[in-house]
């Protein structure tokens, strides 16, 4: 049964691309209500594809823009809808960026490494002679590599 | 055992029934329908792992340590996966955070696109910190795990090479016209997405310490570690996936340049039977040591980046590149084109960029020519930049014209992203109208052509500028101009 589910899920992901293409090929021939309804179905499926990571952000965004263009006929309303979509993307980007910075700030291993990093850099830059005949750059890289491995092993 | 065989037979019957149409265009590297089904149940393993020799040298292929959680799920086909690289691999982002890359695995084929993300370059405090007002490098804060699925306007610059959906002809479909663009076959391949976080066109190897010119902040410690990130990614691919039957190395902007500089090593160490390169808008212009900037406008840029990124270090990046490309002249990085052509005579290689590019060109000249930096207005600045770009591009075009297996495709202008990158967002409007060529013609010629790779250049931008306004491009440009 598990094997069947694997194949079924695979086929579902393949079908989505066909559904997208079929909709856009027929969209202009549909009445506005049917067009909107099918676009909404596609948007819901798009959300599912985003959730299971079978579609990238870039593909999703291009598709969302295309769905606006095909379902909103009035030029001003279309421009307003696209601007609203752009604002949504911008807000999501800000949110994601903040979340990542917070994650880095809370990452003990990363923060430990960054403290070691500055200490090592200052020490190596102040060394009058580099051991082993290495260049300063090579020695610095080696020391920082060791510090990273140690920080992330703990 | 017999129950499993019965189950497999039933699944095969169902699968073949659902796939009644014969497999078209099956190519080297593709699996048969039966193999695809078996792959879904038992994902294929690596068949050309890293060898002991490849773990040696100045830029060894290093693997994650045993037990390291890399996040890979072999059976997660057609789902973007984040692949983590441990510090032991040598990989790291510019800010010191861990490097990772992204994989969209295909059950249908071993063929693989390695796509390198674009995103500027940096060589001092201002450009590497993402300080506003200075063209800098992407991802100064590193790469989040959910990078491929974050909705941010930068993602709008996604290339059709990255993803499964064939959205290439949506414009025609939206207008009620019939589809015209051929699908891009690599959309069904395995897709490896290398994010960019080192500001060094994936080619550097140096820990830089950049002082803050204002003196207000601690110096920036920045890891120009692009070359080692590439090596770590390559090691993982070899150790976890079957060797590609066909491999395309591509990317735009810094990703194009990175594809160019890493092609030789990747090509040789991966060992795929067939390999292709498509450098989109990441040129390495000729700038021989001692050459004047009048004759070689990119000379000041190269002097800067050679030092900042450690390119000339003993056993460093350029030394290693020459190891893989014996005819590469380290004193002139522009020699990489004829060197690649000679070293890989059976590979099909290609370069493309717009004559009116204002992005990569600005990086190349703006901060090195006071008359440009201090231009009285934007129009003058643009004119001066394009003058230098034309000198460099003309020489590159002449170089590729002399190489049978290294094509050059130079359209004039597109009203998107400062005419930078031909293969992002869609593959439209990179046409060369007077020769009845579309960009897809060049791409398909690289991937599927025979004989001399296509060479074409557009003389005038008049037809490009006369095109109607493209609402998608307007939206993308607006979002990008608002600093996102």
Q: Judge: B156–A61 Cβ closer than 8 Å, yes or no.
A: yes
Which of B353, B354, B327 shows the shortest CA–CA distance to B341? Answer: B327
Q: Give the pLDDT band of residue B5 (cuts 50, 70, 90).
A: very low
pLDDT above 70 (res B23): no
Q: Judge: B151–A61 Cβ closer than 8 Å, yes or no.
A: yes
Assess whether A131 and A96 both reside in one domain.
no
Assess whether A112 and A101 both reside in one domain.
no
Assess whether A63 and A99 both reside in one domain.
yes
CB pairs < 8 Å spanning A and B: 186
Assess whether A59 and A91 both reside in one domain.
yes
Helices A75-106 and A108-126, interaxial angle, to 10°? Answer: 70
| Confidence at residue B19, expressed as pLDDT on a 0 to 100 scale | 43
Q: Work out the average pLDDT over B402-409.
A: 98
Assess whether A134 and A75 both reside in one domain.
no
Assess whether A56 and A91 both reside in one domain.
yes
Distance from CA of B467 to the nearest CA of A (A): 19
Q: Work out the average pLDDT over B433-445.
A: 95
Nearest CA in chain B to A91: B152
Q: Which residues of B touch A43 (CB under 8 A)?
A: none
Q: Judge: A6–B165 Cβ closer than 8 Å, yes or no.
A: no
Nearest CA in chain B to A16: B165
N- to C-terminal Cα separation, chain A:
42
HEC-encoded secondary structure of A65-133: HHHHHHHCCCHHHHHHHHHHHHHHHHHHHHHHHHHHHHHHHHCHHHHHHHHHHHHHHHHHHHCCCCHHH
Phi and psi for A47 in degrees, rounded to 5? -60, -40
| Confidence at residue B174, expressed as pLDDT on a 0 to 100 scale | 60
| Confidence at residue B26, expressed as pLDDT on a 0 to 100 scale | 85
Assess whether A35 and A98 both reside in one domain.
yes
- B68 touching A (Cβ < 8 Å): no
Q: Please name the member of A10, A145, A151 whose beta carbon is closest to the beta carbon of B107.
A: A10
Interface of B with A in 155-194 (CB under 8 A): 155-158, 162-167, 170, 173-174, 176, 179
Q: Domain segments of chain B: what residues? A: 1-36, 43-481
| Confidence at residue B9, expressed as pLDDT on a 0 to 100 scale | 46
Burial, B303: exposed, middle or buried (Cβ in 10 Å; 0-12, 13-18, 19+)? middle
Q: Work out the average pLDDT over B127-152.
A: 85
pLDDT, one tens digit per residue, over B266-281 is: 999 999 999 999 999 9
Q: Judge: A90–B484 Cβ closer than 8 Å, yes or no.
A: yes
Q: Give the pLDDT band of residue B169 (cuts 50, 70, 90).
A: low
Q: Work out the average pLDDT over B38-52.
A: 96
- B459 touching A (Cβ < 8 Å): no
Dist CA B474 CA B482 (whole Å) = 12
Burial, A143: exposed, middle or buried (Cβ in 10 Å; 0-12, 13-18, 19+)? middle
CB B233 within 8 A of CB B226: no
Assess whether A15 and A40 both reside in one domain.
yes
Dist CA B204 CA B92 (whole Å) = 12
Dist CA A105 CA B470 (whole Å) = 41
Assess whether A60 and A18 both reside in one domain.
yes
Tell me what percent of the residues of chain A surpass a pLDDT of 70: 98
Dist CA B276 CA A73 (whole Å) = 43
The boundaries of the domain holding residue A83 are 2-105
Number of separate domains in chain A: 2
Q: Give the pLDDT band of residue A15 (cuts 50, 70, 90).
A: confident
Nearest CA in chain A to B146: A96
Dist CA A38 CA B240 (whole Å) = 40
Q: Give the pLDDT band of residue B18 (cuts 50, 70, 90).
A: very low
- A76 touching B (Cβ < 8 Å): no
Q: Judge: A93–B152 Cβ closer than 8 Å, yes or no.
A: yes
pLDDT, one tens digit per residue, over B53-91 is: 999 999 999 999 999 999 999 999 999 999 999 999 999
pLDDT above 70 (res B13): no
pLDDT above 70 (res B7): no
pLDDT above 50 (res B21): no
Query: What CATH architecture does domain B43-481 belong to?
Result: 3-Layer(aba) Sandwich (3.40)
- A28 touching B (Cβ < 8 Å): yes
Average pLDDT of chain B is 90
Q: What number of CA atoms fall less than 13 Å from residue B79's CA on the CB side? A: 21
Q: Return the minimum-mean-pLDDT range out of A3-17, B86-100, B231-245, B291-305.
A: A3-17
CB B63 within 8 A of CB B206: no
Dist CA B350 CA B407 (whole Å) = 5
| Confidence at residue B176, expressed as pLDDT on a 0 to 100 scale | 56
Pairing assessment for the beta strands B220-224 and B246-252 based on DSSP bridges: unpaired
Q: Judge: A100–B7 Cβ closer than 8 Å, yes or no.
A: no
Q: Give the pLDDT band of residue A60 (cuts 50, 70, 90).
A: confident
pLDDT above 60 (res B24): no
Q: Which residues of A touch B78 (CB under 8 A)?
A: 10, 13-14, 54
Q: Give the pLDDT band of residue B40 (cuts 50, 70, 90).
A: very high
Q: Give the pLDDT band of residue B44 (cuts 50, 70, 90).
A: very high
Interface of B with A in 364-393 (CB under 8 A): none
Q: Please name the member of B14, B79, B209 whose beta carbon is closest to the beta carbon of A54.
A: B79
Assess whether A22 and A72 both reside in one domain.
yes
Distance from CA of A128 to the nearest CA of B (A): 17
Assess whether A12 and A81 both reside in one domain.
yes
pLDDT, one tens digit per residue, over B183-238 is: 788 999 999 999 999 999 999 999 999 999 999 999 999 999 999 999 999 999 99
pLDDT, one tens digit per residue, over B145-157 is: 999 887 665 666 7
By three-state DSSP, how is residue B471 classified?
helix
Dist CA B87 CA B99 (whole Å) = 9
Dist CA B201 CA B227 (whole Å) = 9
pLDDT above 70 (res B15): no
CB B197 within 8 A of CB B118: no
Q: Judge: B92–A24 Cβ closer than 8 Å, yes or no.
A: no
Residues near B39 by Cβ (< 8 Å), separated by ≥ 6? B31, B77, B107
Phi and psi for B208 in degrees, rounded to 5? -100, 145
Assess whether A7 and A55 both reside in one domain.
yes
Interface of A with B in 96-115 (CB under 8 A): 96-97, 99-101, 103-104, 107, 110, 113-114
Q: Work out the average pLDDT over A69-84.
A: 89
Pairing assessment for the beta strands B206-210 and B190-194 based on DSSP bridges: unpaired
């Amino acid at each position: 049964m598990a094997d069947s589910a694997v194949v079924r899920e695979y086929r579902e992901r393949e079908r989505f691309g066909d559904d997208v293409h079929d909709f856009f090929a027929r969209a202009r021939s549909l009445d506005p209500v049917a067009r909107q309804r099918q676009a909404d179905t596609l948007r819901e499926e798009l959300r599912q594809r985003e959730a299971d990571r079978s579609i990238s952000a870039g593909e999703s965004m291009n598709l969302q823009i295309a769905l606006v263009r095909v379902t909103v006929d009035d030029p001003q309303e279309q421009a307003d809808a696209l601007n609203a979509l752009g604002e949504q993307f911008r807000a999501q980007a800000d949110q994601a960026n903040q979340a990542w910075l917070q994650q880095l700030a809370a990452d003990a291993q990363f923060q430990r490494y960054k403290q070691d990093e500055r200490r090592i850099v200052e020490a190596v830059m102040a060394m009058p002679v580099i051991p082993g005949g290495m260049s300063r750059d090579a020695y610095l890289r080696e020391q920082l590599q060791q510090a990273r491995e140690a920080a992330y092993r703990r | 055992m017999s129950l499993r065989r019965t189950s497999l037979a039933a699944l095969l019957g169902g699968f073949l029934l659902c796939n009644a149409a014969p497999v078209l265009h099956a190519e080297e590297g593709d699996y048969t329908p039966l193999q695809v089904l078996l792959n879904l149940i038992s994902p294929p393993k690596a068949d050309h792992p890293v060898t002991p020799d490849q773990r040696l040298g100045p830029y060894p292929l290093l693997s994650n340590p045993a037990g390291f959680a890399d996040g890979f799920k072999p059976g997660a086909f057609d789902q973007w996966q984040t692949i983590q690289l441990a510090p032991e691999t040598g990989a790291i982002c510019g800010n010191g955070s861990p490097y990772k890359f992204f994989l969209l695995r295909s059950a249908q084929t071993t063929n693989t696109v390695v796509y390198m993300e674009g995103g500027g370059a940096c060589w001092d405090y201002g450009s590497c910190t993402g300080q506003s007002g200075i063209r800098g490098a992407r991802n100064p804060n590193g790469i989040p795990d959910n990078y491929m699925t974050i909705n941010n306007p930068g993602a709008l610059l996604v290339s059709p090479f990255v993803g499964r959906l064939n959205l290439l002809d949506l414009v025609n479909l939206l207008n009620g016209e019939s589809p015209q663009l051929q699908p891009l076959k690599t959309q069904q391949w395995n897709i490896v997405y290398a994010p960019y976080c080192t500001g060094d066109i994936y080619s550097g190897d140096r820990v830089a310490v950049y002082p803050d010119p204002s003196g207000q902040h601690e110096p920036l410690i920045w890891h120009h570690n692009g070359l080692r990130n590439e090596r770590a990614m390559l090691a993982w691919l070899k150790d976890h996936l079957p060797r590609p039957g066909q491999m395309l190395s591509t990317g735009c902007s810094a990703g194009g340049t990175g594809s160019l500089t890493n092609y030789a090593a990747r090509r040789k160490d991966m060992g795929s039977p067939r390999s292709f390169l498509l450098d989109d808008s990441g040129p390495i212009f000729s700038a021989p040591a001692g050459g004047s900037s009048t004759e070689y406008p990119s000379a000041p840029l190269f002097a800067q980046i050679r030092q900042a990124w450690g390119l000339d270090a003993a056993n460093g990046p350029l030394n290693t590149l020459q190891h893989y490309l014996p005819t590469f002249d380290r004193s002139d990085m522009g020699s990489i084109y004829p060197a690649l052509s000679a070293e890989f005579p059976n590979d099909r290689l290609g370069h493309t960029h717009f004559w009116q590019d204002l992005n990569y060109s600005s990086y190349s000249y703006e901060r090195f020519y006071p008359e440009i930096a201090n231009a009285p207005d934007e129009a003058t600045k643009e004119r001066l930049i394009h003058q230098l770009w034309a000198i460099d591009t003309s020489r590159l075009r002449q170089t590729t014209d002399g190489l049978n297996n290294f094509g050059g495709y130079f359209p004039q202008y597109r009203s998107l992203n400062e005419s930078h990158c031909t293969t992002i967002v869609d593959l439209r409007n990179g046409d060369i109208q007077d020769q009845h060529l579309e960009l897809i013609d060049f791409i398909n010629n690289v991937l599927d052509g025979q004989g001399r790779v296509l060479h074409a250049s557009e003389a005038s931008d008049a037809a490009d500028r006369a095109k109607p306004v493209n609402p998608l491009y307007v939206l993308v440009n607006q979002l990008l101009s608002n600093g996102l």
